Structure 1
């Protein structure tokens, strides 16, 4: 009986951790910045990917992010930041369901101030997506401009977890 209870809780935890979002919060830059800082507590590596449903390279790399997140879920926190328009929020939710995204998605509703917040994330970021930033201990440890393959993503994570 004890083994059945353990199996139940193990499966329940797995199901919850792989659940898809049914709501996508929309935030301004300042809120996103605070969230990234909060997630770094406890020495976690925070992976922040900026993407859009209309960006082919972004969509192509998302399965790699899902796979890698499953492997390193205990050591990293991954956040997918959608740069889709607020008017397309339902499209983003539908996209999450269709692509079976299990990583947290946030909609950055701050397009009008792009020239302000883009250089605050990375001075070398020209505004193109996809872009992935890696943070640890309140420092940006890596910036990737462009699509990431699975091996490249894993290499950056492993290097920054040591």
Structure 2
């Protein structure tokens, strides 16, 4: 008799499925496995992207929306970052190549202990583009779960994020050039 009752139970399991459901995102939390966030999931912005801002070293607050009509490159850097130092001449060259059509802002994320080194760093490298300190919401949006620098965010002329790049080497230089050339062709 027990065997007869067991047979319908087995068929019931077969037809209803024993597999587990995929993870589900609840609210604005990223999908997770064992409560560890899945890498590469971009967090929701803390505020509207066009409103994200930075403060220039002379105290002026600027927002992404202030640069509509131009391609905007936000580069997150620090004085102690070797790839950041290697990237700076290339960013200056891009600004020369596309005068009036591209705006580059170097956003210092080296912390308070690195800040006093910035003036000498700027003189030594002869940095010609604007430098500033980003607000936390902008840094969180661009960095996501990756804290490496340099990080570069590219925005099209309407203020939409089109590419985020981490690091700098010859391959990334080409990737950056290709992204900018594509935006210039569509502008």
**TM-score interval, smaller chain:** 0.5 to 0.7
Q: Which of these two proteins has the greater Rg computed from alpha carbons?
A: 2
2:166 aligned residue: 145
- 1:71 corresponds, among 97, 101, 108, to 97
CA contact (8 A) 1:86 1:107 kept: no
Q: Using the TM superposition, give the Cα deviation of residue 148 of structure 1 relative to its aligned residue in structure 2, in angstroms.
A: 5.1
CA contact (8 A) 2:142 2:164 kept: no
CA contact (8 A) 1:48 1:78 kept: yes
1:24 aligned residue: 57
Structure-2 change in CA distance of 1:55 and 1:62 (3 Å): same
How does 1:9-158 map onto structure 2 within 5 Å?
Answer: 24-25=57-58, 35-39=63-67, 41=68, 43-108=69-134, 117-121=138-142, 123=144, 125-136=145-156, 137-147=158-168, 149=170, 150-158=173-181
Show CA shifts across 1:47-89 (max 9, x none): 0000110111111111111111111121111101011223433
What TM-score does the superposition give when structure 1 sets the normalisation length?
Answer: 0.68
Where does the alignment leave 5 or more consecutive residues of structure 2 unmatched? 1-55
What is the DSSP-based 3-state SS (H/G/I as helix, E as strand, rest coil) of the residue aligned with 2:153?
Answer: strand
What TM-score does the superposition give when structure 2 sets the normalisation length?
Answer: 0.59
Structure-2 change in CA distance of 1:76 and 1:121 (3 Å): same
Measured on the aligned residues, the alpha-carbon RMSD in Å equals: 2.4
Q: Using the TM superposition, give the Cα deviation of residue 153 of structure 1 relative to its aligned residue in structure 2, in angstroms.
A: 2.5
Where does the alignment leave 5 or more consecutive residues of structure 1 unmatched? 1-22
How many residues are paired up? 127
CA contact (8 A) 1:118 1:127 kept: no
2:31 aligned residue: none
Q: Quote the Cα distance in structure 1 between the aligned partners of 2:128 and 2:97.
A: 13
Q: Using the TM superposition, give the Cα deviation of residue 26 of structure 1 relative to its aligned residue in structure 2, in angstroms.
A: 6.3
